[in-house]
Chain A
Amino acid sequence: MEAWIRARVTLALTLFALLFFVSRSSPPRQFVISNAERRIDLSSHIINVHLTLKVENTGTRPASEVVLALTPTEVDHLAMVDALAIKGKQKKTTSVRLEVKPTELPDAPPIDAKYFTIYLADPLNSGESTTLEVLYVFMHFLEPFPAEIAQSESQLVFYHDTALILSPYHIKQQTTFIKTPSTKVESFIRVEPTNRVGTEIKYGPYEDCPPYTISPIHVHFENNSPFAVVEELVQEIEISHWGNIQVTEHYTLVHAGARHKGVFSRVDYQSRQFSNGASSFRYLLARLPARVHSVYYRDEIGNISSSHLRTNSLKSELEIEPRYPLFGGWKATFVIGYGLPLQDFLFESSDDKRYLNFTFGCPLIGMVVDKLTIKVVLPEGSTDPSPVVPFPVEHRLEAKYSSLDVIGRTVVVLEKKNFVPMHNSHFQVYYTFNPIFMLAEPLMLASAFFMFFVACVAYIHIDLSIRK
């Protein structure tokens, strides 16, 4: 471990040295960051990094594109990046959401890095400065070490980062705060000035850092928060114009923390709850829409009896317990299903279309979803489906045959990878539907019965015997 860290430090130093000699020309250089403050929250397995940048235009022309740099590993684990522009002084601040897009820089960077560009709402004139707030959310970024723990041990994880912010700009002053979930920190690398108070480690302030300076650090600390990860969630929303929306959610849940090793002892787990299986979890909370009805919770082999539903007029909460407590590496699959009143979610738009307005997200609170698939099953006979989602998703169409379907129902499939709770937002699916199709199935049933009775009557009245 030690050697590895040393190797990384040397590598960084080499790069650092290279930097001075090789190229100083890469990105547009008109910005300087006069002050950067970074707050890293490590209290759960979803890592929030709040970055406050004071950007100053030192170039000659007005510019509106600020570039952020991240290492490739960070990008792999990045679930979302969001930027706000803070306007106004002191108390009367307002924030404006800015567009962030991944970009490629034309010239080769001195360090392996990937870039995101923030597009400022108004170009920043020469000499002016503005404050940006950037939120990065990372998932699967904490590395459990040791990778396997026994039941009585608590979970220790590594967090790797750099004490100096990776940036294509010159940073005049920067500070990084790392918040750990508890005071139990095994070790961390100091890059003076470094200060640790309670659950917070403060790196900096560092003055005058040239572009692409990094200084790798790690923090090795205890994190017993549930590392609950939904590997795959398939949510099926079936619309019936007879007044119901049926939602079925298929979960594959896994404990993504340090793997459980050796014995699972029920005696210890039952009698010494706190010292045993500290990193395991048993309960999950799902927040469902209000007026939810006929909720079920089951898996491949049947109903799971350990769940509680609490409803009030504003929201419903479903507390579920998987069949067994989840230790590191243990999996559980289950299905949650519920019905919702149609009028709460389906509306008519001005152009004679109908649209479904539903939450894009995972009802389980605080859950990271590796792959989220939402299938909106439109009623049979609906046409021109078009989804509207506030962030980029893959989408395609499928067909599904439900009860008494002849031509099949159109299914709008939306897929999103690396989903974190911060993504939760509403999405819409627009489609056209002729209400006459609602009558198709009842008419079919009625005619089937009618035919049956006609057949019965005919059978009674027709003499089928050969001999007379």
Chain B
Amino acid sequence: MATMPASASASDLLKSFKLKTKQQELLIRVSILCLVYILAFITRLFSVLRYESMIHEFDPYFNYRTTLYLTENGFYDFWNWFDYESWYPLGRIVGGTLYPGLMVTAVLIYRILRFLRFAVHIREVCVLTAPFFASNTTLVAYFFGKEIWDSGAGLVAAILIAVCPGYISRSVAGSYDNEGVAIFALLFTFYVFVKAVNTGSLAWCLASAFGYFYMVSAWGGYVFIINLIPLYVLVLLITGRYSMRLYVAYNCMYILGMLLAMQIRFVGFQHVQSGEHMAAMGVFFLMQVFYFLDWVKHMLSDTKLFQAFLRITVTSAVAVGGIALGLGMVSGYISPWTGRFYSLLDPTYAKDHIPIIASVSEHQPTAWSSFMFDFHILLFLFPAGLYFCFKRLSDATIFIVMYGLTSMYFAGVMVRLILVATPAVCLISAIAVSATVKNLTVLLRSKNKVVQTGSTKGSGGSKSSSKALLDQSQPFQKNGAIALLFGAFYLLSRYATHCTWVTSEAYSSPSIVLAARGAHGNRVIFDDYREAYFWLRQNTPQDAKVMSWWDYGYQITAMGNRTVIVDNNTWNNTHIATVGRAMSSYEDEAIEIIRSLDVDYVLVVFGGVTGYSSDDINKFLWMVRIGGGVFPVIKEPDYLVNGEYRVDKGAAPKMLNCLMYKLCYYRFGEMMTEYGKPPGYDRARGVEIGNKDVKLEHLEEAFTTSNWIVRIYRVKPPNNRW
């Protein structure tokens, strides 16, 4: 950093206020951090400005509802909450089946603000929780970057992660989901753990255990931590980087973290009973063996004896571990891996075995384009950063390399896991940017010295050789460095532009309210979801049961305040399959199922009038598949014609007469949707529908929203026999 030459000419008084270089640097660093902190927050407010301060998507509505419950009824009621309003007639033990971290955090913030006499509504707190934690993540990223490389890299990492679309996609204002706080918790845990490994201090170990506890309480993704850290420890052991610091850090973190995590009801004893957590335990025992061996080696002076001892101990340890694991597996004490875990290791697994996981769009394998979309230049900087990391290997860089590589793999398997990879990618790219820019500026400076002093080799290390090379081609060196700096500047500004654009265009839509451009370029709002939910809330009996596909379950309970049969917590596949079966049966078969489930209203989402493509007709094949998975009477080929899914005249007869088709297209045949097209022209699929004369026998239309997106049917009471 340069001293200020301008102040040299200033008066003595000013001179006394002149900051030292170190102070200047601190000032600049703190102000950059503050700006980044603010930037990370405000860039996530597009959705509030474009739409309103509202909760987005599907899962956040459940989180919002539970948070509301927590504020109103207190923690103990929340913990013991049995929810009658979902999964009718089974109900749901909410306290035992959720990660409470998010709700508790939001309520804590709310209470603090209330205590400080800020009259805020809990909804505002929920809406802004994710941006707030995103801001905090930038701070953690700075410290993490500082820990693994230097403060420059930390600053760059903070800036990169503040606007990285991969993270913004899950943390815009209103996206009140577990991931919002979990990424902060994840990065914090990793940072503190690396710090603990670097220092071997118990305080940092403790902090990492608590970070891990917070992560466990917030998101199911904690499994990534509990597998990555043992893997990292194992790699350090193999590469001969075993140290007392590592021993202290890992053991303390594992034992404490495990004990703390058991306090979360949803996680319970999984740390000792589930296959997914066994790696951590194995590495824990391995550490003890390692330590023991180290001690023995220290005690035994005879190397030969030690070799023999080593052989026996390692074999017996591995054998004991293997037998214990085998016994646990066989006796059923240790549960096998879950489907989701398998599908991470084998991307094709879900498609063949668990359609309910495969049916979610965010569980699909990632396309190359979405990598580009979410990472932009980071995708190219990432390998460069890896190169720098390998050049300066340390415990910390090994960690970040491992984190980056594993999370990149998972990001490739599932779209939503791009989120987990984002911090690693940002950190590694930041190293690349920082190191490059630093090298270039050092080059520019040192060249002046070269001119002045003739020849000075750099302080040594990697740069000396390149300098030596560049010294010989002085005319191009300066220009080259400047050009490269400009290139870096250009790339980074492109990145900023891209991020802002992506945030405003792609990730700030609440998906409850749909916006489109009208014929005259004006903005048209389709608020049909809320119209329907509010209608349900106001104009149906308090105890009405609503059947819909599970996607809308959370929203119906949160906004409509009515009981649903299935919702987005897909814990009971059979129940969902029953709904899928009802939707894909003929009406008189479906009504049996509907009556047996005690359903009063059936809700479908239909985009034929507006051209909204993610409606129930387009999701219908998944209902058939999931229904067919449990009830073999439902067969997918019955709904297809030559393997093709269609709704027009050429559609399969079963398709044209199943309940879903009837409910979506009831009286749609009379409707003129588009000029110059016949009535009953489905705009979402671009065809004229095949069955325009839909008659309903056991259901009647109760409500259809103004753009037909949501249609609600009432189940008629059975006819009197007399």
Contacts and interface: CB of A to CB of B under 8 A. Distances in A.
A324 B531 contact: yes
Interface in B108-130: 117-119
B704 A266 contact: yes
Interface in A366-417: 401-406
A304 B51 CA distance: 11
A404 B535 contact: no
B530 A302 contact: yes
B538 A305 contact: no
A408 to B, nearest CB: 10
A467 to B, nearest CB: 14
Residue of B119, B533, B708 most packed against chain A (CB within 10 A): B119
Interface string B14-58: 000000000000000000000000000000000000011010000
A238 B537 CA distance: 30
Interface string B138-173: 000000000000000000000000000000000000
A333 B701 CA distance: 23
Given A266-B708, A303-B52, A303-B54, A324 B703 contact: yes
Interface in B687-722: 700-706, 708
A306 B117 CA distance: 34
A302 B700 contact: no
A403 B531 contact: no
A47 B51 CA distance: 43
B648 to A, nearest CB: 20
A287 to B, nearest CB: 25
Contacts of B512: 302
Contacts of A298: 52
A330 interface: yes
Given A267-B670, A267-B671, A403 B54 contact: no
Given A330-B539, A403-B117, A406-B117, A323 B700 contact: no
A264 B701 CA distance: 6
Identify whether the interface residues of A are mostly helix, strand, loop, or mixed.
loop
Interface in A227-265: 262-265
B119 A324 contact: no
Contact of B527 (A300, A304, A403): A304
Interface in B534-583: 534-535, 537-539, 559
A148 interface: no
B534 A402 contact: no
B667 interface: yes
Chain B contact-residue range equals 20 to 34
Contacts of A263: 700-702
A39 interface: no
A264 B534 contact: no
Contacts of B119: 401-403, 405
A191 to B, nearest CB: 41
Interface in B662-690: 667, 670-671
Nearest to A405: B117
Interface residues of A, number: 29
Contacts of A265: 667, 701, 704
A436 interface: no
Interface in B184-202: none
B525 interface: yes
B704 A264 contact: yes
Given A302-B52, A304-B527, A404-B117, A323 B535 contact: yes
A404 B493 CA distance: 42
A332 interface: yes
Nearest to A262: B700
A333 to B, nearest CB: 7
Nearest to B707: A266
A15 to B, nearest CB: 43
Contacts of A262: 700
B533 A264 contact: no
Nearest to A267: B667
A362 B705 CA distance: 29
A406 B118 CA distance: 11
A234 B539 CA distance: 21
Contacts of A303: 51-52, 54
Nearest to A406: B117
B300 to A, nearest CB: 37
A298 B54 CA distance: 11
Interface in B630-668: 667
Given A324-B531, A331-B538, A302 B54 contact: yes
Residue of B534, B701, B708 most packed against chain A (CB within 10 A): B534
Nearest to A304: B527
A99 B492 CA distance: 80
B672 to A, nearest CB: 9
B531 A401 contact: no
B118 A404 contact: yes
B535 A301 contact: no
Contact of B535 (A324, A402, A403): A324
A27 B422 CA distance: 89
A302 B702 CA distance: 23
Contacts of B531: 323-324
Residue of A265, A271, A402 most packed against chain B (CB within 10 A): A265
Nearest to B712: A264
A282 to B, nearest CB: 10
A324 B701 contact: no
Nearest to A151: B701
A323 B534 contact: yes
B538 A401 contact: no
Contacts of A161: none
A317 interface: no
A299 interface: yes
Contacts of A271: 670
Contacts of B513: 302, 305
Nearest to B716: A262
Nearest to B700: A263
Contacts of A330: 535, 538-539
Interface of A: 262-267, 271, 298-306, 323-324, 329-333, 401-406
Given A266-B705, A301-B559, 9 more contacts: A264-B704, A265-B701, A266-B708, A324-B534, A324-B535, A324-B705, A330-B535, A332-B538, A333-B538
13 contacts: A264-B704, A265-B667, A265-B701, A266-B706, A302-B54, A323-B527, A323-B535, A324-B535, A324-B703, A324-B706, A330-B539, A403-B117, A404-B118
Closest 9 CB pairs of A and B: A266-B704, A331-B538, A303-B52, A323-B531, A403-B119, A301-B559, A302-B54, A305-B525, A404-B117
